[in-house]
Copies of this chain bind each other. A is one copy, B any other.
Amino acid sequence: MSPVLAHAHGRDCAVLGGGLIGLAIAWRAALGGLSVHLADPEPGVGASTAAAGMLAPVTEAHYGEERLLELNLRSARRYPEFVAELERASGLPTGYDTHGTLAVAFDRDDRAVLAETAAYHRKLDLESTPLTGREARALEPMLATGVQAGLLVERDYQVDNRLLHSALLAAAIRAGVRIHRSRAALIVENGRARGLRLESGETLTADQVVLAAGCWSSEIPGLPPDVLPRVRPIRGQILRLAMGTPPTLTRTVRAMVRGRYVYLVPRAHGELVIGATTDELGFDTSVTSGGVYELLRDAHEVVPGITELPLVESRTGLRPGSPDNAPLLGETVLPCLIAATGHYRNGVLLTPITADAIAALLIDGALPEYAAPFSPERFGGLS
């Protein structure tokens, strides 16, 4: 028996949330020898399957978020091994794709912003290559002739988050995770988290409870007030088109179009994902007339050739936003309640490292050092 298994022997945990984060944690925890229950009324119905699946630490690097950048880069490096193990364990593909990302600027002002981005990448020693508009079109011939400049980020990859979710669900089940398709309330006893209560009334008693309910994490019945900083829903509207053959694009294109961002993510199986709005409207999951209009307008400016492509899906996802837009990873002030939520725009990217970190905490009792800055305790002040 390995030391990990000896340590974990007889301990159990309950995971609330069957999105990418919850499933990945449950899978890793079960592999580590824990007995794992997971509750979700409809696993994957949320942001996990809405997202575009970009694995983009570099093109998502923002001023003042250098600590998050470190975590993002670490998770990106972890990805190849993670998906290889997952594909072996599940027997399913994940669509991990290393064709890279091309950022482009539509007009002169956009070009100035892209030049600043390139300078920021150089300062942080991030790998990116400035291109002229002509060079960008040589890589992606369907780009509009008006595109002014490009920035090639060869190591910003993508994964098919829908395939990833299916593979995680299969792997978790194969590893022994018991999935309960039910809403759940948190059970608190003697000042500590003690398990989950399902809609049926059944209780799942557990030594540790993981809260991985995305934008619903603050709304869980039974969760005492002030245990978590507020996690709020930030709506993204996202479209899926069907490309023909040959594909319209071969790599992800992230464009700034007259000061607005739009991305186009081509999948190997022919899907072209176009996103995304950023709407703060609570739990409203409507696709709006204006949201779809602006996405299509900006995407057409950059890649006019999409005009004849079938629009096969318009949907929304609610990103879980924490107060500082970085995830909440680790123990909360409520003993035995562990947070794994608040991943905002980086949930797909941070899935492997979140699973590693939380599984280590569940099994060994300590969060790895790299995750410590993301402890919910950073917000202090919660009673």
Chain A positions within 8 Å of B, measured between CB atoms, are: 239, 241-242, 286-293, 296-297, 299-300, 306-312, 314
Q: Smallest CB–CB gap between A222 and chain B, Å? A: 32
* Contact of A296 with B299 in the complex, beta carbons under 8 Å: no
Q: Smallest CB–CB gap between A83 and chain B, Å? A: 30
* Contact of B307 with A300 in the complex, beta carbons under 8 Å: no
B residues near A293, Cβ cutoff 8 Å: 293, 296-297, 300, 307
B residues near A307, Cβ cutoff 8 Å: 288-290, 293
Contacting residue for A309 out of B239, B242, B288, B308, CB 8 A: B288
* Contact of A288 with B300 in the complex, beta carbons under 8 Å: no
A-B contact pairs, 26 of them (CB 8 A): A239-B289, A241-B289, A242-B286, A286-B311, A287-B310, A288-B307, A288-B308, A288-B310, A289-B296, A289-B299, A289-B306, A289-B307, A289-B308, A289-B309, A290-B306, A290-B307, A290-B308, A292-B292, A292-B296, A293-B293, A293-B296, A293-B297, A293-B300, A293-B307, A297-B297, A314-B314
List 19 other contacts, CB 8 Å, given A293-B300, A311-B314, A314-B314: A241-B289, A286-B311, A287-B310, A287-B312, A288-B307, A288-B309, A288-B311, A289-B300, A289-B306, A289-B307, A289-B310, A289-B311, A290-B296, A290-B306, A291-B311, A292-B296, A292-B311, A293-B307, A296-B296
Per the bound structure, the CA–CA distance linking A239 and B287 in Å amounts to 12
Per the bound structure, the CA–CA distance linking A312 and B296 in Å amounts to 17
Give the nearest-CB partner of A299 in chain B: B289
Most chain B CB within 10 A, of A239, A292, A311, A312, is at A311
Per the bound structure, the CA–CA distance linking A156 and B375 in Å amounts to 64
Give the nearest-CB partner of A241 in chain B: B289
Per the bound structure, the CA–CA distance linking A297 and B293 in Å amounts to 7
B residues near A289, Cβ cutoff 8 Å: 239, 241, 296, 299-300, 306-311
* Contact of B314 with A286 in the complex, beta carbons under 8 Å: no
Per the bound structure, the CA–CA distance linking A239 and B288 in Å amounts to 11
Per the bound structure, the CA–CA distance linking A99 and B322 in Å amounts to 49
Give the nearest-CB partner of A281 in chain B: B308
Per the bound structure, the CA–CA distance linking A290 and B288 in Å amounts to 17
Per the bound structure, the CA–CA distance linking A307 and B286 in Å amounts to 12
Q: Smallest CB–CB gap between A248 and chain B, Å? A: 10
Per the bound structure, the CA–CA distance linking A308 and B292 in Å amounts to 10
Give the nearest-CB partner of A310 in chain B: B286
Per the bound structure, the CA–CA distance linking A297 and B314 in Å amounts to 17
B residues near A241, Cβ cutoff 8 Å: 289
* Contact of A290 with B300 in the complex, beta carbons under 8 Å: yes
Most chain B CB within 10 A, of A242, A291, A306, A310, is at A310
Per the bound structure, the CA–CA distance linking A159 and B189 in Å amounts to 60
Give the nearest-CB partner of A237 in chain B: B311
Per the bound structure, the CA–CA distance linking A49 and B239 in Å amounts to 24
Most chain B CB within 10 A, of A239, A242, A293, A308, is at A293
Per the bound structure, the CA–CA distance linking A288 and B239 in Å amounts to 11
B residues near A306, Cβ cutoff 8 Å: 289-290
Q: Smallest CB–CB gap between A256 and chain B, Å? A: 19
B residues near A290, Cβ cutoff 8 Å: 296, 300, 306-308
B residues near A292, Cβ cutoff 8 Å: 292, 296, 311
Q: Smallest CB–CB gap between A273 and chain B, Å? A: 12
Per the bound structure, the CA–CA distance linking A309 and B287 in Å amounts to 8
Per the bound structure, the CA–CA distance linking A300 and B291 in Å amounts to 12
B residues near A310, Cβ cutoff 8 Å: 286-289
B residues near A297, Cβ cutoff 8 Å: 293, 297
Per the bound structure, the CA–CA distance linking A239 and B286 in Å amounts to 15
